[in-house]
Structure 1
Amino acid sequence: MQNGEETPAATETAKTPQPEEVTKQSFRIKVWRHLETNGLAMFPRPVYNRIPNFKGAQEAAVKLAELDVFKNANTVKVNPDKPQEPVRVLCLEQQKTLYVPVPRLQNGFLNRLVLPEGETGPTAIRKAVSRNGMETYGQPLSIEDSVSLDLVVMGSVAVSKEGYRIGKGRGYGDLEFGLMMHMKAIKPDTLVVTTVHDCQVFDTLPAELFGPHDVPVDIIVTPTQVIETQRMSQRPTGILWHLLSSRRIQQMPVLGQLREIEMLAGRACTLKEEDTDTEERREPRAPRAPRRQRRRTRSHKSHSEGEGNTTEGEDGKPKSRRPGRRRNSHKSASKDGKENDAKEQKPRRPRRPRPVIDFSVKISNISPTTRVRDLKQALTERGVKPQMMTWKGFRGFCYLHFYKSGPQKGEGDNIQAPNMDSVISALSQMCVGGTGEQTNEKPRLLTVEPAPPRTPHANTTEPPAAAAEVITNVALLGH
């Protein structure tokens, strides 16, 4: 290579698509994307970074309830995620002792769900198994309490017929299992079951992706089948401290309690030096005051300022201003009052020019049941980030608008806006389907074509209020 020129071999290598790296995350993304694009995902949406809720979760729970392992179980532990909510309902309906882990293990370990006396109907049960109900009706247990489980039900993102399980990537399910092993709540005959959609089941998963901390499953239940796995790996024997960082211990007090107990018993609990836990990190947000409270604060401030602006009369009593008349605080008593007023007035800020649209792309054949966020997700996956979108999905089309070429706000100086050819090429063969709960519609192949440049706020047949509803700022498509 001379003078910065690339050799033909280097050019050919750059054009050749590189094989996707095989990781747990690659399987997660494959499952999440399949559920979303094929209309199989259920609330909460989108299912990315979650134990995904799926169409048929109720049918899978009913199929699990038909198994002898469920009928004979008296004490059952079920994860708190949405797709396993029907399983929690069936446990309470059949008067089983139900244990649910504390979400993210932040404020404890296990909660035993106990219905209020006299409230055993369907409404009370569904309320108890909800996110708020599990906290309200849950009786907390510590790691020193005695618990014996007959069945463990876990949520999964992907599983294989060999028994390998992939969770959402934060390690909560594995840590919960390790804590239950410490409590001796898991017996040799305690089975681990998961309920998933059929598309989440793989014939095989790479064994090298799994370690001694990963919990294998014994039975996979889908809406259509029951699979008894071969269980190629052993269960974790407890908490593997050398895989945890001090930050993880600080986030979950129950782990700190267990570590103190273990160290007092003379057992080694050495943590890893580098903080390489695989769970997603999020910066904590400062809590915001409720909307009502913020409104009251503003009104109270205005009222205080109004009282402070009163003037005193000759009798020393406050003299309020007349309603409807504004006092000019900048008015001067001198003869040159007009000149002083002109000097004291602050210059107005110049209005920012409206961004000029370089080109627009029209997307047609959109299903009436398709949501804006479904299309945004599809655009993000293909690397297309328009600055503005005019959404008329109920009419079967929408427009993507791209600004004039130049550095974009918040991005590097060398990043330029895309051109029309690259956008149309990236969106070719894009399919988005209706994802409503009541539809079985398959994904539609969308039509992508150039559209004449235009300003979204101009030449519209919608009234101003309606036009504001269909103009959607899609800056959130950026990461």
Structure 2
Amino acid sequence: MQNGGDAPAAVDTAKPTTPEEITKQSFRVKVWRHLESNGLAMFPRPVYNRIPNFKGAPEAAAKLAELDVFKNADTVKVNPDKPQESVRVFALEQQKTLYVPVPRLQTGFLNRLELPEGETGPAAIRKAVSRNGMETYGKPVGIEESGVSLDLVVMGSVAVSKEGYRIGKGKGYGDLEFGLMMHMKAIKPSTVVVTTVHDSQVFDTLPAELFGPHDVPIDIIITPTQVIETQRMSQRPTGILWHLLSSRRLALMPVLGQLRDTDMLSGRACPLKEVDTDVEERAQQARQRRLRRRTRSHKSQSEGEGGNTTEGENAKGDGKPRRVNRRRNSHKSASKDKDGTEPATPSKPRRKQKPRQEIDFSVKISNISPSTRVRDLKQALTERGVKPQAMIWKGFRGYCYLHFFKAGPQKGEGDTAAAGSIDQVIAQLQEMSVGGDSADEKPRLLSVEPAPPRAPRDQPVDQPAD
């Protein structure tokens, strides 16, 4: 989006337009809408409320990899979002030290990606830079760790300008990560900050009044077609600005609380924002808007029902809108007519809820490769004649649960009877291997053991989709 921030799509001048409030969110929505409506958005979709993945993201990463600033960098920090996945691939292929932040900073700060010894092929690298792989192969790095020195920082963006202003998805994670790295002294004056975006995410200018001292400026913008060295109109943050954060934000991100405790012990004042107007306030406002819409719809339904009265009934009204309890009135109309007599047709009885089947026994299968798909395991189970009534899939964590229901009159009784006993099922699953589809991965021998005959509380008893 070039030319002073105007959207690239043609504007219909025949239709009157309402002036839009100029905020960071208005620019985000403009970019998200443009990417979605013009076929430029890629998985995961929709791109709203995300760092958007875009067509040409691998090409932008390849253009970055050709720059000296990337070739000469020994240590690189890259955000964990999908559009920068190819940047992470190039970093590992060129054997750079790669750091990625913990998503949402909820369980830590940085992870240093290290491939297992002997696994250096393209498939292993692709697996390591994926969302699950960054957790599996990441070595935690705390804010107290010294010796981290970054040559290059790659950030995801929703919108950027040639002046170096950057707009993220609105949660503040990128700016907080940068402030934490400043605290670690990992950011040097020579550290270069770049971003990879689609050409339509680049504006000539963005309003300077929208940006504050916590916003991280961009040095270089890389698109699939161009490299833009920005004018850098603002200074980098010097660290965490506590007065912009609420106590709730610290509760959500323990690493911030840890840093604040350290700063306060050293005698530094770290006052927090008294009024909780943190970046998540927009989500609260959205919930309030949805609630108001539901309230309005209920009112319109009540008024519509109230309008179906006779003139005499309207005359008795006191001018206040009638409040109609639809559920209560439906029962009354079902039980009696207006003259008080019983209706000719009885009300339809409620359908009885199907009783939940009781689990007879459960089996836990572990040592599952993170790359294994649920359908691969289902096929292996079918080949061994084992058909569980429900499965709780946690393959990305290396395990899953199989549940077998007690025999009963419900549908599927034949399947339940065919399940056999827990000893029989475990015997059928002995020495079962799954995986090994790629040349770099060997089939894994799965571990099978009895499990408590109940589903985990946080998971429904359900058959997962592929």
For normalisation by structure 2, the TM-score amounts to: 0.59
Aligned residues: 285
Q: Deviations over 1:244-265 (max 9, x none)?
A: 0000000000000000000000
Correspondence 1:292 to 2:293: no
Residue identity opposite 2:391 in structure 1: R
Tell me how far apart the structure 2 counterparts of residues 79 and 55 of structure 1 sit (CA, whole Å): 18
How far 1:297 sits from its partner (Å)? 7.0
How far 1:299 sits from its partner (Å)? 2.8
Tell me how far apart the structure 1 counterparts of residues 392 and 260 of structure 2 sit (CA, whole Å): 42
Match of 1:448 in 2: none
Alpha-carbon distance change, 31 to 17 in structure 1, aligned in 2, over 3 angstroms: closer
Match of 2:67 in 1: 67
How far 1:296 sits from its partner (Å)? 7.5
SS in 1 for 2:139: strand
Match of 1:213 in 2: 214
How far 1:107 sits from its partner (Å)? 0.3
Match of 2:370 in 1: none
Alpha-carbon distance change, 281 to 30 in structure 1, aligned in 2, over 3 angstroms: closer
Tell me how far apart the structure 1 counterparts of residues 128 and 61 of structure 2 sit (CA, whole Å): 17
How far 1:149 sits from its partner (Å)? 0.2
Residue identity opposite 1:249 in structure 2: L
Match of 2:175 in 1: 174
Structure 2 contact 57–197 (Cα < 8 Å) conserved: yes
Match of 1:101 in 2: 101
**In the TM superposition, what are the counterparts of 1:163-242 in structure 2 within 5 Å?**
163-242=164-243
How far 1:301 sits from its partner (Å)? 8.9
Q: Deviations over 1:355-385 (max 9, x none)?
A: xxxxxxxxxxxxxxxxxxxxxxxxxxxxxxx
Match of 1:117 in 2: 117
Correspondence 1:137 to 2:137: yes
Residue identity opposite 2:227 in structure 1: V
Match of 2:126 in 1: 126
How far 1:300 sits from its partner (Å)? 3.9
Alpha-carbon distance change, 42 to 298 in structure 1, aligned in 2, over 3 angstroms: same
SS in 2 for 1:58: helix
Residue identity opposite 1:231 in structure 2: R
**In the TM superposition, what are the counterparts of 1:331-410 in structure 2 within 5 Å?**
none
How far 1:16 sits from its partner (Å)? 7.1
Alpha-carbon distance change, 16 to 42 in structure 1, aligned in 2, over 3 angstroms: closer
Match of 1:272 in 2: 273
Match of 2:81 in 1: 81
Match of 1:322 in 2: none
Match of 2:161 in 1: 160
How far 1:30 sits from its partner (Å)? 0.4
Match of 1:8 in 2: none
Match of 2:43 in 1: 43
How far 1:18 sits from its partner (Å)? 3.2
For structure 2, the residue ranges without an aligned partner over 5 or more in a row are 1-14, 288-358, 360-388, 394-400, 411-466
SS in 2 for 1:292: strand
Q: Deviations over 1:1-46 (max 9, x none)?
A: xxxxxxxxxxxxxx97531000000000000001001000000011
Structure 2 contact 390–403 (Cα < 8 Å) conserved: no
* Aligned-residue RMSD, C-alpha: 2.3
Tell me how far apart the structure 2 counterparts of residues 48 and 87 of structure 1 sit (CA, whole Å): 22
Tell me how far apart the structure 1 counterparts of residues 105 and 402 of structure 2 sit (CA, whole Å): 36
Tell me how far apart the structure 2 counterparts of residues 208 and 71 of structure 1 sit (CA, whole Å): 35
SS in 2 for 1:176: helix
SS in 2 for 1:50: coil
Residue identity opposite 2:122 in structure 1: P
Residue identity opposite 2:88 in structure 1: R
Correspondence 1:54 to 2:54: yes
SS in 1 for 2:391: helix
Match of 2:27 in 1: 27
Tell me how far apart the structure 2 counterparts of residues 35 and 99 of structure 1 sit (CA, whole Å): 29
Correspondence 1:260 to 2:261: yes
Q: Deviations over 1:107-159 (max 9, x none)?
A: 00000000000000000000000000000000000001121000000000000
Match of 1:450 in 2: none
Residue identity opposite 2:39 in structure 1: G
Tell me how far apart the structure 2 counterparts of residues 291 and 44 of structure 1 sit (CA, whole Å): 28
Q: Deviations over 1:417-453 (max 9, x none)?
A: xxxxxxxxxxxxxxxxxxxxxxxxxxxxxxxxxxxxx
For structure 1, the residue ranges without an aligned partner over 5 or more in a row are 1-14, 284-288, 305-479
Residue identity opposite 1:56 in structure 2: G
Alpha-carbon distance change, 26 to 281 in structure 1, aligned in 2, over 3 angstroms: closer
Tell me how far apart the structure 2 counterparts of residues 101 and 298 of structure 1 sit (CA, whole Å): 40
Tell me how far apart the structure 2 counterparts of residues 27 and 134 of structure 1 sit (CA, whole Å): 30
Residue identity opposite 2:186 in structure 1: A
How far 1:278 sits from its partner (Å)? 1.4
Tell me how far apart the structure 2 counterparts of residues 296 and 303 of structure 1 sit (CA, whole Å): 21
Tell me how far apart the structure 2 counterparts of residues 89 and 266 of structure 1 sit (CA, whole Å): 42
Q: Deviations over 1:156-209 (max 9, x none)?
A: 000000000000000000000000000000000101000000000000000000
Tell me how far apart the structure 1 counterparts of residues 54 and 188 of structure 2 sit (CA, whole Å): 30
What is the percent sequence identity of the aligned residues? 81
Tell me how far apart the structure 2 counterparts of residues 297 and 133 of structure 1 sit (CA, whole Å): 28
Structure 2 contact 77–153 (Cα < 8 Å) conserved: yes
Structure 2 contact 75–97 (Cα < 8 Å) conserved: yes
Residue identity opposite 2:256 in structure 1: L
Alpha-carbon distance change, 37 to 300 in structure 1, aligned in 2, over 3 angstroms: same
SS in 2 for 1:194: strand
